[in-house]
Amino acid sequence: MSKTALQFRHNGRDVAIFVDGGTNLLVALRELIGDMTPKFGCGQGGCGACSVLIDGELHLACLTLAETVAGRSIETLDGIKQGPNLHPLQRAFADNFAAQCGYCTPGMLMAAKALLDRNPQPSRAEVIEAISGNICRCTGYEPIINAVLAAASSRARA
């Protein structure tokens, strides 16, 4: 099978890979780049576990053809730490007990980051709306919503 050369930015670093036709971004990130933070949950766009940012916009990696991200900038949970320090959202998730099994957490955090990046002071309803495409089967939505709100207010104080 012929392979296509593909170059993009991954968490601020230029990367180049060869992909088969039809390869989705989730497979490209996990198997070819080695970034295991986006998770496979359904492969159908139903669960949000593979959520990543493409040029700052929230996307589902499992439904994104890898070839469509050529030249674009991909951000995953692996890239949101600020040096050795946790991102305020990561800190808020930890402090608010917003993870149980942890499998939806990378996607949740990316959805939350996409929200706070464009709306630093969201209402509770806006937080709910922002994570409505991310399924948490341990059903810890309340602590997750609280964590996002806590991160927003801590950022406002800072």
Secondary structure (DSSP) of 5-23: EEEEEETTEEEEEEEETT-
Cβ 120 to another protein, closest distance in Å?
A: 18
CB atoms within 10 A of CB 16: 9
Measure the CA angle with vertex 81, ends 113 and 19; round to 5°: 80
Cβ 127 to another protein, closest distance in Å?
A: 12
Residues 59-88, one symbol each (x = binds another protein by CB under 8 A, - = not), give xxxxxx---x-------xxx--x----x--
Cβ 145 to another protein, closest distance in Å?
A: 14
Cβ 157 to another protein, closest distance in Å?
A: 20
The Cα 100–Cα 51 span in angstroms is 18
Q: CA dist 18 to 10, 66, 69, 73, Å?
A: 15, 10, 13, 17
The Cα 25–Cα 50 span in angstroms is 9
- Among the listed residues 28, 29, 104, 144, the single contact to another protein using CB under 8 A: 104
Cβ 3 to another protein, closest distance in Å?
A: 13
The Cα 74–Cα 35 span in angstroms is 11
Cβ closer to another protein: 125 or 156?
Answer: 125
Residues 43-62, one symbol each (x = binds another protein by CB under 8 A, - = not), give xxxxx-x-------xxxxxx
Q: In the complex, which residues of this chain contact another protein (CB under 8 A)?
A: 20, 25, 31, 34, 36-37, 39-47, 49, 57-64, 68, 76-78, 81, 86, 90-91, 93-94, 97, 99, 101-106, 109, 129, 132-133, 135-138
